[in-house]
Each structure stands twice: as C-alpha cells, then as structure tokens.
Structure 1
C-alpha cells in the first residue's frame, strides 16, 4: 500500500488533490496537511512513500523540501508548482525530489505524474508556452472507487488529431485512454469488445510506438506531448487494418 502525504496550504485545493488520488490506486493511504506540519520538532512515525509538496516559488523550494524530508522522511517527493522557473532535471535538488507537476495541470496529468513517481520514475515536464485553460481546482470532480467503466466523450476531430499526433492507430488510442484511467486489461478488453490477448497485443504495440515500457510511462509520454486522452469517436475507420493503411 502506498502512503501519500499532500502538503498544500489551500484547503480546497488540498481536498481536491486528495480525492483525485483515490483514482490512482485502490490501496493508497492519503493524508492532507498544511505548512504548519513542517514546523514540528518530532518526525512523523511510520513510512511515507510520497510527499506532494506545494511550492509557490523556486526560492522556497530547498527550505520547504528539507523540512518535509526531516519530518516525513519520504522515499520520494513530487512538487506541486505555481512557479514558471522550475528546473527540468533533478540536478541541484534535494535527493528525494523526483519531479514536479504544475498546479494548473489537468487531473489526468497529475494522476499520471503520481503513478510515474511511485513506480520509481522522474517527472520533469517540458515547459509549455500555452497555459492550461482551467486550473486543477476548477476541473476537479469527486471520484469514486472502484471506477465504473464508461466511455468519456470527446469530439471526433479532437481524437483524430491526438492519435495522429502521437503516431498511433485509433484502436491503440482507445486502449491508451482506458489505461490512463487505471483500468485492468480485462476491463480494457470488455470496453472495446475484444479479447484480453488482443488488448495486450495492442498495448505492447502502443508501448513500442511511444518508446516506453509500462502504462505509467505511456500515459505520461502522451500527456507530455499535449494529448488530453478523451474517448475517441472516429468515423471512417472500420478496423485496425484500415488505420494502418
């Protein structure tokens, strides 16, 4: 079971992040705290797998991160950033810092970043010159576990643009959408009306196309390239052979 502590001074944003984290894994234990927890003299008992630490500027990063390391002793730390000057690598950062995610990132990006860091990866996304249309808090919707498989809706032209942008087939894009939502392979097959073996084959080919080796890396790679991972409604494509043609 992964233990995650979210240190965020804004109570509503903290609550939203905690509820989004319930969609990361059914066996995740989460705790929410504000900056006052960093002032305590006694370290927190028990093990902490991940601290998600809110930082408003690069200048305060080292101080807050060192305090969080002292109190919680986390295996890894993911920064929740409001700043535009965050580094692109771990060089010069406290050893437990494995990356950062912008506070105006979409819920899908935040969840993918958490999964990636928990899996032992790092998360230092490239800066984008275009700000997100909506901040994380305004896009937050309460989530329930276990999720009920359903097909998210997105415009056909948006889906077509995304699978072409990623260099994958429409079917591989559908698989990627379901993987991003944390569904097991059996559920992916059921949603797409294909066998588990076929779903696995599409997944392996998808990984090769994106040059990754697992689900978390595939989702992170896709969203880093600008994909929103909504459900595609693709017209004019009858099967994978047509898509490959």
Structure 2
C-alpha cells in the first residue's frame, strides 16, 4: 500500500493531477494537500512513500517550502514537477529525496510511468540534463531518462478531469496488483448515512470527519454545517473517542482502513449562522 502526497499550487493542474493519480490503479492512498494552507506534520502525512511536488512560479519560495516539507514530513521519495526542469535540477542543494523531475506539460502517460518508476525505487530525469550540452536550445522539456527497476505496465488512458471540490481530499487508490484497468462505473459519493453506518458513528459526526479530511479548519466546518464551533468540536472529540484515535489524521486513516471513502461532497448549500433570521 503506497501513500502519495500531492502538493500543487495551480488549482486546475492540481485537480487534473489528483484525478489522474486516483485513476492510476495504484494500491494505497492519495492525500491532496493545499499548499496555501498550514501543513501540520500529522501521523498520516509522515514518511509518505512519494511526494509529488509542483514547484510554483515563485521558485525561491517553492524551494523553501520543499526543504521544509522534506525536513518535517520526511517523504521517502520526491517527484518534482516544474515548468523548467533544467533550471530546477541545476540547484546546488537539491533535496536528497528527489528521485525524479518532470515537466508540468508532460503527458498523462509520462506522469503515470514516472510515478510508478519512482515508487519502485528507480529515477526519472530529463535526458538532456544527463548528457553533454549540445547546443544553446532554450527548450528544457527534453525526453525522460529512466533508471532503476522498470517493469512493463499497462498505460493509463488519460481522461479529462471531472468536477471535484477544490479543497484538499484523501482519495483511496483502490486496485489489485496485476489487474488491468477495467471500465469503471460512474462514481457516486459516499453518503453520511452509509459512511456513519460503516464507522459506527452518527451522521453528523461523519459529516464533520469528511469535511475535516478535506482540509477545512473546524471554524469552516461549523459554518458549512450551520452549527456552532463548540458543537463542531464536540462532534470531532466524540468521533475520535468512537474510533479510538487521538486526532484528525488518525481518524481519517482508521476510516479509510475500515472501507470508508470520506468523499462526501458536503452540504448542497452553505448558509452562515443567522442567515435564516436575516432573510
């Protein structure tokens, strides 16, 4: 079971990457993290098998964040996504865990192959960075030079990203090793009723957990569910006790282990407290 962290600042690219990785038939969990939100070194984020990190346009700030993430979260491997691979890999103090670099405009097949290769212990870098410079060509996309244990895998057919909430989300990557991707039925989000029954918690507690899993702070959760912050905190504490965990990260992990997806899309309409009185 592989754990993959995804951090990409551009919202559309982030949604596309999340969708592609979720459809890659890799056994494990994909944890999509908003790079603009505070990233706490929770148990579910520590020592991930792979960190897919999109270097932002402000490269200096991006390198600072990546160094901090590597120090605090200690991912085993990092796959770097950037618009300028040559400039990125010429950085003197590249984090030791970087095992690959890919252009952000790379194809879905190239990303799928790079993720699988790096997870298998190999490396993936643009070939022009490993060869002698031939000319002053300004295009640094290059072709990929792959090294390490490579096994033939069925390529994943690229699909257009469909609608997803823009908030962070944990996506279970359910698949069986050795099975070719099959046509998937239309996905239906888990309902609070089914999720609550599976986890033996109340529907309201499930709603709080599902929104927390998407990265919303407790104040936002209370606003989305139209309850007070104190009530939201009480539901969170109670569901932690029910699941025998200490915090949000452990709760999400246990829920996924029990078969829940926590992909509830949230209430159909968000109205702030007191909106009814004001109407």
Q: TM-score, structure 2 length as denominator?
A: 0.43
Which structure has the highest helix share of the two?
1
Structure number with greater Rg is 2
